[in-house]
């Protein structure tokens, strides 16, 4: 079971969904906060949902307000990077770049891509956390990093 | 504590620190009190956990204003602040300035943005470090060094200022040793050891010593005003902490407090002057006697700008942006906490009763206290005098319009409680001189040309300059030139202010002076000199030369009349790219404008000098910080 969990995590890393920052979060987890990572990720998804919505709304305007979009995306990128959402983060970077050059289509396309990555990651980590919880705290503590 | 602030068990006394340290003996810097400000809840949570893992005491906050209130209410409640750069309610740099000025705490900025400009901004605004998100725990482990370093500097300052107690020097290393030696028997609490040293210091060299514990002094507006007044009275060169302290006569204030504040003040002034110089490319020739003035002008510019903004009812954010821009421009100096003036201070024109002949705008009602909390050291007499004059001007209550010009003055006034209304007389006849257009609001102000009589005399600043800023309603068009805007960008203003008692007639028709952004005073000077305007500058040639030296006048350039001059000026003018000031804000140039306007008048009757700031707002939000 433990190995399964480890494999799961490893594959998330291998596929580029998560990066080093996620490990940092895991290292913060301890007996006092055994579900710290899950809490943070949950918090992230909750908070970023409204950002996603704001961006969506902004993308519907015409013409696009690139500086506002860039600003929103900057916030979103900051959040995403702090939980180690690697793919999401790179989409953010791409989006910001399109904003910078004023490429509306690029922005919209990238945003769709971003939402996909965002949703995929969410599902994957949910599975991961569920599994981790099942394993139990004892094993969690022994879980190899 | 619940101010919307989540915190770990926090006690504002030393006890918490001590107990934390004692609880984990030999684990300095455990117990360090950290305040984290970030609007992103995910980041906030992560940082909190990381800091707790470092055994720090963490207080979190998702809004800058709440954080500031927290800091103000709990004087010893925090050792270091970590703040995000981009926050919706207040720009992180602004918070940085406030904290630096008011509480003098080390501040670390962080952002996902790692572009050089932003990092540089952090440096110039006085941040002691800049972290790139996502933040790693390793980066947080060592933040205690900033606290220690700051304390060390403060103690050193005291040492320098100290009237020569050898022991201090001896004690210092010992104390630091203690601090570093986490397993020293008594010094489990490094902070205590420092305190002890402070106490010893205080007991040694101060008769009117404060309590045993050295509380952190909050340099409020009033306190800073008193400070600046005292400094000006003594003369910037002669201002020593002991005397300043005596003059200030504030119970509980120690020489060390004054000393460290003085140091910051000097650095600030130096920075401003350095920026101005840098920007204006003022050559040495001009800086002779006038540099001080010039510098002070620069420093005042920023202040003025704010003041003007305030008076001009500039939206907070624009003021902030201006200030930020102005402050941001001061790059050359070491990170000196920018004199972030509380907005309320800035907009607080009550004190300054500038008596401008003209309708003073209501801005006067707001006292601009740009210099509030500015730990600047007037590095030049001029600055002091500027301050004084500014203050004096400010005291003179002027109509709202003039208040603008006096906003600078006001600021100065704020700094210096004593105002001398004498200057006002000069202003009396002035008509709304310069309109300071701060940001959008003013751009379209067609104000009747007003002539601002800026009697800025570099040497005479002490309260003799009344800068009549005939500002039309709310537009402190002319930033108190007299008061030496602190905005480095507005060299023009600086120059003008510094100058001399010249009467600047600002024709401010509408509001915006075309300030070609370069506030190079030189330009102004050039213009004036080129115009051969002597009537405007009845003043001494010195001033004129000063003006020339500075060559500011971007504003003038805008005048149609001076197209030619513009060019010459422009060449000298510096761009203030960072300045997000709108034309209105160029009130700083005000001084120049006045001069120019006077000159222009000659040429063209009723010329209106539109003050246009070419700076766009850079989006800083100047929030009214409740104090």
Average pLDDT over residues B381-405: 43
User: Which chain B residues touch A48 with a CB distance below 8 Å?
Assistant: 42
Length of chain B measured in residues = 627
CB-CB neighbors (< 8 A) of B133 in chain A? 78, 81-82
SS3 B450: coil
Q: How many Å apart are CA B598 and CA B6, to the nearest integer?
A: 58
- Average pLDDT on B341-365 reads 40
Residue B84 contacts residue B119 (beta carbons within 8 Å):
no
The band of B380, judged by pLDDT with boundaries at 50, 70 and 90, is very low
pLDDT above 60: residue B400: no
Beta-strand relationship, B107-111 and B348-349? unpaired
Measure CA B513 to chain center.
24
Tell me the mean pLDDT in the region B491-517: 41
Predicted-complex ipTM score: 0.91
d(CA A113, nearest CA chain B) in Å: 21
Tell me, what's the pLDDT at B227? 86
- What number is the average pLDDT over the span A94-106? 91
Q: Is the pLDDT of residue B362 over 50?
A: no
Cα(B622)–Cα(B627) distance, integer angstroms: 14
Q: Do B41 and A47 touch (CB under 8 A)?
A: yes
What pLDDT is stored for residue A137 in this prediction?
A: 58
- Residue B439 C-alpha, separation from nearest chain A C-alpha, in angstroms: 19
Residue B245's pLDDT band, with cuts at 50, 70 and 90, is confident
Segment B578-591 shows an average pLDDT of: 40
Residue B58 phi/psi, 5-degree rounding, is -110, 135
Q: How confident is the model at residue B275 (pLDDT cuts 50, 70, 90)?
A: low
**Other Cβ atoms closer than 10 A to B481:** 49
| Residue B58: band (very low, low, confident or very high) from pLDDT cuts 50, 70, 90 | very high
Q: What is the pLDDT of residue B324?
A: 44
Task: Give the number of A-B residue pairs with CB atoms closer than 8 Å.
Answer: 60
To the nearest whole angstrom, how far is the Cα of B50 from the nearest Cα of chain A?
7
Evaluate if pTM is beyond 0.80. Answer: no
- Mean pLDDT for B158-180 is 51
Query: What number is the average pLDDT over the span B188-214?
Result: 45
pLDDT number for residue A89: 92
The predicted pLDDT at position B103 comes to 83
d(CA A135, CA A121): 21
DSSP B267-322: HHHHHHHHHHHHHHT--HHHHTTHHHHHHHHHHHHHHHHHHHHHHTT--HHHHHHH
Weakest mean pLDDT among A19-28, B119-128, B209-218, B385-394: B385-394
> Would you say residue B230 has pLDDT above 60?
yes
Whether residue B86 and residue A28 make contact (CB cut-off 8 A), yes or no, is no
For B137, name the nearest residue in chain A, comparing CA atoms only: A24
Q: CB-based contacts of A76: which residues, under 8 Å, 6+ apart?
A: A48, A51, A52, A55, A92
- Give me the residue from A25, A33, A81 closest to B133, CB to CB: A81
A99 CB neighbours in chain B (<8 A) are: none
CB contact B135 to A (< 8 Å): yes
Residues of chain B numbered 34-53 and touching chain A (CB < 8 Å): 39-43, 45-46, 49-50, 53
Residue of A nearest to B52 (CA): A28
How close, in Å, is residue A46 to chain B by CA atoms?
9
Inter-chain touch A82–B46, beta carbons under 8 Å: yes
Rounded to 5°, angle at Cα B263 from B258 and B265: 90
The C-alpha angle B535, B540, B541, rounded to 5 degrees, equals 90
- Comparing alpha-carbon positions, the chain A residue that sits nearest to B54 is A28
pLDDT value at residue B214 = 52
B486 min Cα distance to partner chain A (Å)? 30
Confidence of residue B243 (pLDDT cuts 50, 70, 90): confident
* pLDDT of B178 higher than 70: no
A49 CB within 8 Å of a chain B CB: no
Return the percentage of chain B with pLDDT > 90, whole number: 10
From A27, A33, A78, residue closest to B133, measured CB to CB: A78
Cβ separation A82–B43 shorter than 8 A: yes
List alpha helices for B13-131, DSSP H: 14-23, 41-53, 64-73, 92-98, 116-124
How does residue B361 score in pLDDT terms, banded at 50, 70 and 90?
very low
**Residue B276 binned pLDDT confidence (cut-offs 50, 70, 90):** low
pLDDT in the model for residue A46: 93
Residues of B in contact with A74 (CB under 8 A): 86, 112-113
Which is more confident, A124 or B162?
A124
Angle between helices B290-311 and B400-415 (to 10 degrees): 130
pLDDT tens digits, B446-496:
444 443 333 333 343 333 433 343 434 333 333 333 334 333 444 444 444
**pLDDT for res B627:** 52
Does A24 reach chain B within 8 Å, measured CB to CB? Answer: yes
Query: Would you state the pLDDT for residue A101?
Result: 92
**Would you state the pLDDT for residue B399?**
42
Q: Which residue has the higher pLDDT, B434 or A62?
A: A62
Q: How far apart are CA A74 and CA A94, in angstroms?
A: 11
Residue A81 is nearest to which of B39, B50, B112, comparing CB atoms? B112
Optimal mutation site among B39, B48, B49, B617, interface A, most CBs of chain A within 10 A: B49
Q: List all residues 6 or more positions away from B437 whose beta carbon is below 8 Å from its beta carbon.
A: B312, B443, B445, B475, B477, B511, B512, B513, B582, B583, B584, B585, B586, B587, B611, B612, B613
**Min distance B138 CA to chain A CA atoms (Å):** 10
CB B554 within 8 A of CB B592: yes
pLDDT exceeds 80 at position B332 = no
Are B46 and A79 a contacting pair at CB < 8 A?
no
- Mean pLDDT over residues B78-87, rounded? 92
Q: Is the minimum CB–CB distance between A120 and chain B shorter than 8 Å?
A: no
- Asked whether the predicted pLDDT for residue B419 surpasses 90, the reply is no
Q: Contact A13/A5 with Cβ under 8 angstroms?
A: no
Q: State whether residue A115 is helix, strand or coil.
A: helix
In the predicted model, what is the mean pLDDT of residues B92-117?
A: 89
| Per-residue pLDDT at B270 | 73
* pLDDT over threshold 70, residue B67: yes
SS3 content of chain B, % helix, strand, coil (to 5): 50, 5, 45
Interface of A with B in 75-114 (CB under 8 A): 75, 77-79, 81-84
**Tens digit of each residue's pLDDT (9 = 90 or more) over B282-329:** 434 444 444 444 444 444 444 444 444 444 444 444 444 444 444 444
**CB contacts, 8 Å: A85 with chain B:** none
Structure tokens at B493: 């203003």
Do A27 and B135 lie within an 8 Å CB cutoff? no
Q: Which of B37, B46, B51 to mutate to test the interface with A (most CBs of A within 10 A)?
A: B46
Domains and CATH numbers, chain A: 2-135 (1.20.120.160)
Which residues of chain B make contact with A79, given a CB cutoff of 8 A? 40, 42-43
Work out the pLDDT band at A41, boundaries 50, 70, 90. very high
- Residue of chain B whose alpha carbon sits nearest to that of A21: B134
């Amino acid at each position: 079971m433990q190995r399964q969990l480890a494999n799961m995590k490893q594959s998330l890393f291998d596929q580029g969904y998560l990066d080093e920052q996620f490990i940092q979060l895991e290292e913060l987890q301890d007996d006092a906060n055994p579900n710290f990572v899950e809490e943070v990720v949950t918090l992230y998804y909750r908070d970023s949902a409204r950002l996603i919505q704001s961006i969506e709304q902004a993308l519907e305007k015409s013409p696009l307000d690139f500086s506002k979009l860039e600003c929103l995306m900057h916030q979103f990128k900051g959040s995403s990077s702090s939980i180690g959402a690697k793919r999401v983060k790179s989409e953010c970077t791409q989006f910001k770049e399109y904003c910078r050059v004023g490429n509306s289509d690029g922005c919209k396309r990238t945003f769709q891509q971003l939402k996909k990555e965002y949703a995929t990651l969410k599902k994957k980590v949910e599975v991961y956390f569920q599994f981790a919880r099942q394993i139990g705290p004892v094993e969690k503590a022994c879980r190899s990093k | 504590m619940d101010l919307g602030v989540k915190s770990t068990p926090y006690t504002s006394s030393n006890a918490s620190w001590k107990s934390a340290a004692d609880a984990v003996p030999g684990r300095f810097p455990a117990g360090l009190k950290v305040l984290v400000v970030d609007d992103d809840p995910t980041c906030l949570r992560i940082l909190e956990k990381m800091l707790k893992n470092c055994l720090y005491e963490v207080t979190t906050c998702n809004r800058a204003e709440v954080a500031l209130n927290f800091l103000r209410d709990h004087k010893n409640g925090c050792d270091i602040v970590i703040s995000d750069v981009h926050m919706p309610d207040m720009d992180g740099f602004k918070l940085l300035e406030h904290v630096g000025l008011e509480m003098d705490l080390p501040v670390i900025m962080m952002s996902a943005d790692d572009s050089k400009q932003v990092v540089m901004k952090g440096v110039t605004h006085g941040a002691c470090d800049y972290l790139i998100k996502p933040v790693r725990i390793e980066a947080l482990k060592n933040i205690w060094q900033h606290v220690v370093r700051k304390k060390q500097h403060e103690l050193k300052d005291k040492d320098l200022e100290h009237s020569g107690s050898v022991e201090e020097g001896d004690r210092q290393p010992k104390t630091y040793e203690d601090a570093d030696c986490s397993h020293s028997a008594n010094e489990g609490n490094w902070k205590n050891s420092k305190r002890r040293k402070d106490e010893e210091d205080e007991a040694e060299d101060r008769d009117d010593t404060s309590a045993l514990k050295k509380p952190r002094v909050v340099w409020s507006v009033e306190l800073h005003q008193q400070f600046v007044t005292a400094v000006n009275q003594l003369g910037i060169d002669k201002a020593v902490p002991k005397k300043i302290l005596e003059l200030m006569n504030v119970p509980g204030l120690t020489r060390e407090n004054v000393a460290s504040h003085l140091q910051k003040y000097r650095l600030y002034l130096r920075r401003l002057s350095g920026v101005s110089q840098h920007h204006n490319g003022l050559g040495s020739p001009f800086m002779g006697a006038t540099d001080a003035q010039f510098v002070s002008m620069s420093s005042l510019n920023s202040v003025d700008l704010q003041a003007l903004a305030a008076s001009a009812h500039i939206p907070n954010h624009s003021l902030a942006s201006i200030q930020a821009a102005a402050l941001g421009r001061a790059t050359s100096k070491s990170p000196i906490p920018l004199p972030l003036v509380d907005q309320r201070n800035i907009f607080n024109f009550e004190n300054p009763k500038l008596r401008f002949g003209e309708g003073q705008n209501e801005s006067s009602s707001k006292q601009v206290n740009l210099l509030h909390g500015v730990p600047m050291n007037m590095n030049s007499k001029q600055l002091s005098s500027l301050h004084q004059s500014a203050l004096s001007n400010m005291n003179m209550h002027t109509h709202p319009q003039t208040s603008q010009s006096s906003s600078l003055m006001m600021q100065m006034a704020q700094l210096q409680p004593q105002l001398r209304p004498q200057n006002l007389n000069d202003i009396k006849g002035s008509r709304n001189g310069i309109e300071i257009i701060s940001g959008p609001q003013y751009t379209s102000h067609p104000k009747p040309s007003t002539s601002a009589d800026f009697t800025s005399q570099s040497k005479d600043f002490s309260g003799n300059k009344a800068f009549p800023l005939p500002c039309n309603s709310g537009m402190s068009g002319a930033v108190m030139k007299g008061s030496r805007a602190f905005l480095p960008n507005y060299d023009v203003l600086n120059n003008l202010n510094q100058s001399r008692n010249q009467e600047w007639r600002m024709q401010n028709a509408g509001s915006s002076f075309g300030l070609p952004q370069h506030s190079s005073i030189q330009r102004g000077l050039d213009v004036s000199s080129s115009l051969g305007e002597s009537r405007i500058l009845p003043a001494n040639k010195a001033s004129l030369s000063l003006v020339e030296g500075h060559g500011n006048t971007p504003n003038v350039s805008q005048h149609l009349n001076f197209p030619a001059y513009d060019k010459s000026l422009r060449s000298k003018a510096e761009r203030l790219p960072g300045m997000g000031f709108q034309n209105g804000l160029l009130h700083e140039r005000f001084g120049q404008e006045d001069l120019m306007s006077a000159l222009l008048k000659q040429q063209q009757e009723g010329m209106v000098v539109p003050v246009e700031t070419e700076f766009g707002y850079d989006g800083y939000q100047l929030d009214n910080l409740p104090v």
